[in-house]
Structure 1
Amino acid sequence: MQLVLFCGIQATGKSTFYQQRFFHSHVRISLDLLRTRHRERLLLELCLETQMQCVVDNTNPTRVERASYLAAARAVGFEVVGYFFQSVAAQALERNQQRPAERQVPDKGIRATRNRLELPTRAEGFDQLYFVRPLHNQGFDVTTWQDEIL
C-alpha cells in the first residue's frame, strides 16, 4: 500500500495533480475538504487501518508536519512517496488570482507558507521523492528528486 505526501505552497498545482494522477486509485486527504485536523486524522487512520492507498493533499511545508504522516504510514508497512511542488511565491500568487474568488488564498497566507517551507529529503523516510514543476495548460514536469542538487 502507498501513502503519497504532497509538499509545496498553495496554488502550485497539488490538487490538480491529484485529480490527474491519483483520483481513481487513492483517497484524497485534504484539510481544504475536511476542515479540521481531527477529521483529517480519522480519515488517515481509516485509510491506514484498511490498507487504502491515499494522498495527503496539504502544503506540508516543514519536516515536523511531514513526520507524523511518515511515521504513521511506515508503522503499518506503507510505502511513502513524496512530491515536492516547485514553490515560487510570485508564480503561486499569479495562479491564485486565476482561481475562482471562493478558492483564492490570501496573499499573506501564500507568503507565510513559503517562508516556513523546508525542502524534503529522503532521510525523512520517503521511499521515493519527486520534484514537480507546473507547466502551462495544467500539465506537469515530474523528475526524480536529487537531494544533493536542490
Structure 2
Amino acid sequence: MELLLYCGLPGAGKSTYYKLHHVDTHIRLNLDMLKTRERERLLLEAALQAKAKLVIDNTNPDVLSRSLYIQAALQARYQVICYWFCAPFEEALARNDLRTGTARVSRVGIASIAKQFITPSYEEGFHEIHRVHTLDHHRYNLERSIDLSISEVKHEV
C-alpha cells in the first residue's frame, strides 16, 4: 500500500505526470476536481480503508498541508512517497499560460503558493522523496530518494 504525495507549483506538471505514469495503478485525489475538503476527506478515508494505492495531486506547498495526508497514510500503514515537482517559477508560469478556462491559475495565485512553498523533508514522515524535473509536456527526469541536505530550494518570484 502506498500513497504518493505530489507537491509543486501550479503548472509544474503534476497532473500530466499522473496521467502518464500512475493513472492505471493509483486513485487520484485532487481538490480542483473534488471541490471541497469534505469530499476529499471522505474519499481519502474510503481509499485508505480499501487499501487502495493513492496519489494526492495538489500543490501541497507546506508542512501543514502535507501532514494531513501523511499522518492518515501512516496510521493506515502505508508507505508514503513524496514526488516533488521542482519547476522554477517562470517555467510553471509559462506552462500555466498554455492552460485555458478554470484550469488556468492567476499569476498572483502561483506567486502566493511559491512564497509559502517549503521543501519537503524526511522529518515529515516520508519514506522516500523523489525530485521531478519537467523537461517538456510529456517528458520528465525523476531523481529517486534524493538527499535533501543539499536540495533546499526557494522560488524566485
With the shorter chain as reference, the TM-score category is over 0.9
CA distance in 1, matches of 2:4, 2:56: 6
The offset of 1:57, in angstroms, is 0.2
2:16–2:137 Cα contact (<8 Å) kept: no
Counterpart of 2:108 in structure 1: which amino acid?
A: K
Secondary structure of 1:126 counterpart: coil
Q: What residue ranges of structure 2 are gaps of 5+ in the alignment?
A: 152-157
Moved over 6 A (4+): none
Question: What does 1:1-150 align with in structure 2 at a 5 Å threshold?
Answer: 1-144=1-144, 145-150=146-151
Deviations 1:42-84 (A, max 9, x none): 0000010110111000000001111111100000100101000
Counterpart of 1:107 in structure 2: which amino acid?
A: R
Q: What's the Cα RMSD here?
A: 0.9
CA distance in 2, matches of 1:143, 1:79: 18
Could you state the TM-score of these two structures normalised by the residue count of structure 1? 0.97
Q: Percent identity?
A: 35
**How many pairs were matched up?**
150
Q: What residue ranges of structure 1 are gaps of 5+ in the alignment?
A: none
CA distance in 2, matches of 1:72, 1:42: 12
CA distance in 1, matches of 2:44, 2:5: 12
